[in-house]
Amino acid sequence: MSGERVEDYDFELPAHLIAQRPSDRRGESRLMRVSAAGEVSFGRFGDVLDAFEGGEVLVLNDARVVPARLYGRKETGGQVEVFFLEPAEEGGGGLHIRALTRGRLQPGQPVSLPLGVTARLVAREEGGVARLSLEGGALAAEGSAEQGAAEQGAAERLAALWGWLEQAGQLPLPPYITRAPDDLDRERYQTVYASAPGAVAAPTAGLHFTAELLDALRAKGVEVHTLTLVVGPGTFAPVKASRVEEHVMHTERYAVPAATREAVDRAAREGRAVVAVGTTVVRALESCAADPRADRTQIFITPGYRFRVIDGLITNFHLPKSTLLMLVSAFAGHDVTLRAYARAVAEGLRFYSYGDASLFRRPGGRWA
């Protein structure tokens, strides 16, 4: 099978093609279209409307990026960086999170974070992840002191956490963007339909869509549905193995609403195409098809994978030798994908999170 070695997914990418900032206006990026036969063409992202005839099901990831990077100080004066990953089930009361930390911490040692919040290390978990308890300040329980934080509803505690992060945290731009985040990133590193907080990286294929373009797709008869896959930092993890099958895939949480499942199932029965906006949507829908009861996925899609759901894929351009490039190669074909990427480089398209977009049709799919 083509693509067994990680080196088979390498390609030359000039540094100047790695986008450091978004396009001047949302939706004005370029688009590479790749047919099921491997034919490549270029245009503007707005041309994506022409690819749809009506009747297709377009699925978006509505995950919302939270400002996940925080800085605090220990009683000794030493600085600690806290990179929020996800809420954790509570043990012993209070609000607990999982986070990556930089700066030596001892169990129980208080760290002062913005807006009067105190963090304490509860335990170290697998992979060096810290379990932290948070209390006080902007996270203080509402109501009487007798009620206590432990008696707050889970939804209220989460709402307080998201609100605190929005005020206190810094947006976590990807590692290949070599500048500090600014006010524009608060708007542009977020899709126009983002509604489910918790992600620490954007589902970047959706950054190109404007509300007007989504309305135009609906007016054309395209069914637009959402799911939530909470994008974690593992999406940027490099593949260190030399063979594809040796790589251990990261895990991500997801939820596919009943309405989205029903629309996807109905499209399959009626022979209509399902188009994913982003690799996160592919991972969620294909995982849900394999196990409808699951809420976390570690699926690793590489050439040879048999797609159950997806016929079309709108996605950005991915890192050489990355698991995301392997997923696209599984979808469109290894050789087709690498040839198309070479064309994109030659045409000067911009790569990665703030870069341009591509539209692939799966050979043999319902959108061929």
Looking at domain 6-65+180-361, which CATH architecture does it have?
Answer: 3-Layer(aba) Sandwich (3.40)
* Domains 6-65+180-361 and 69-168 fall in the same CATH topology: no
CA distance 110 to 113: 9
pTM equals 0.93
Q: Would you say residue 177 has pLDDT above 50? A: yes
Q: Which residues of 266-275 are buried (b: 16+ CB within 10 A; e: fewer)?
A: ebbeeebbbb
pLDDT at site 147: 46
Architecture of domain 69-168: Beta Barrel (2.40)
Residue 217 pLDDT exceeds 60: yes
Helix segments in the chain, DSSP class H: 154-168, 183-188, 211-219, 258-270, 279-290, 323-332, 334-346
| pLDDT tens per residue across span 230-263 | 998 888 888 999 999 999 998 999 999 999 999 9
- DSSP helix/strand/coil, 17: helix
pLDDT in tens, 23-65: 999 999 999 999 999 999 999 999 999 999 999 999 999 999 9
**Contact (CB, 8 A) for 171 and 67:** yes
**Tokens (6 digits) for 259:** 């309405």
Which residue ranges make up each domain of the chain?
A: 6-65+180-361, 69-168
Residue 93 confidence (pLDDT)? 56
Residue for token pair 């012993």: 92
| CA 83/CA 234 separation, integer angstroms | 13
